Structures are given as structure tokens and as C-alpha cells.
Amino acid sequence: MLERIQAWDNRMLTKISARHTDKLNKIMVLVTKTGNNGYIWFALSIPLLLVNRFRMIGCTTILAMLISGLAGEITIKHIVGRVRPCNKDFGKDLLIKHPAHYSFPSGHTSSSFAVTMVMFFMLPVMFVPVLVYACLMGFSRMYLLVHYPTDVIAGVVLGTICGTVAVSVSPYIPFFTF
């Protein structure tokens, strides 16, 4: 079963890498870089933290990213220990710095979908733009050959769960209600 999943992952990445263009390369590198260390999501959270009526949303967004990071980057990646596709030959040079950690699940995707769920529940007007960017983030990770499709799918699932948990627990955190 795992061999079939790996074969599917490889086929999908081969198809994606066949679509590389100079313009798309630049766009995907930019999208991925905005996801490094959650920069794009902190940039979204900071203005929310500064406005009283949105402060709870900003705090919940950061909580969702924290839960996602603890679950994915610190726990699951080290348990699974999946080698990244950029360590294999897909006929393309790596367009970004080689990531230092394991592949499964995608942390960029996980944090993006954690924030997406916060927006879905707490600030619906931002849901669609954040969802579109989160999907683009996940795709960029495959396009740049640093994640397999199943890494990204797992990141979507994990981020959705983490964002939902953050929304559920944030009203009970006294610090968030200041």
C-alpha cells in the first residue's frame, strides 16, 4: 500500500515539475518564502492584534499556528521521518534553499490551513482570500519539489484540525479576552 502511495506521489510531482516556467518559478518561490516561519500569517495577525474588536481573532490565529507547529514540525515530522522529494531526482534543480527537516506533513500547508479555519469561524470575510492563498501555498511546496502531494494533503488535514481546536479553546484562555 505504501509503495502505491509513493508511486502516485512520484507521478504527481513528475507532472507538476513538467509545468515549470520562469514566471511560475518566481511566483512559487515568492509564495513559499512568505510562508517561511509563518511570515504571511504573522503579517495578517499583527494588525488584528492592534484593533480591540479583532484582538481575539489575532490571538487565535497565532494559537492555531502554534498548535500546528507543535503537532506537525516538532512531533509528526520526527515520528514519520519521511525524506523530501528534492532528495530524489525529478530532473529539476531546487529553486529554494534545501529544507533541513523531514517532509511529512507540510508545515507551510498546515499553518496556512490552521489560519484558514480561524478565518472561516471568526472572520468569514477573510476566509476566501486566505483559503486561496493557503491552496497556493500547498501547491508551491509541491511545485518546488520539497513536498509530496500526500505531505500537502496531510498538512491540509492537520491544519484544519489545529485551526478548529484553536477556535474551540481560545475563548477559555483568559489572556485572549483582555
CATH domain 27-171 topology? Vanadium-containing Chloroperoxidase; domain 1 (1.20.144)
pTM value is 0.91
Cβ neighbourhood burial of 10 (10 Å; 0-12, 13-18, 19+): middle
Q: Report d(CA 60, CA 17) in Å as an integer.
A: 36
Q: In whole numbers, what is the pLDDT of the chain averaged over residues?
A: 91
In tens, the pLDDT along 83-113 reads: 888 877 655 677 787 787 888 999 999 999 9
Question: Residue with C-alpha cell 502505491?
Answer: 4
Closest to 63 in 3D by CA, of 140, 168, 157, 156: 168
Residue extents of the structural domains in the chain: 27-171
pLDDT at 177 (0 to 100): 58
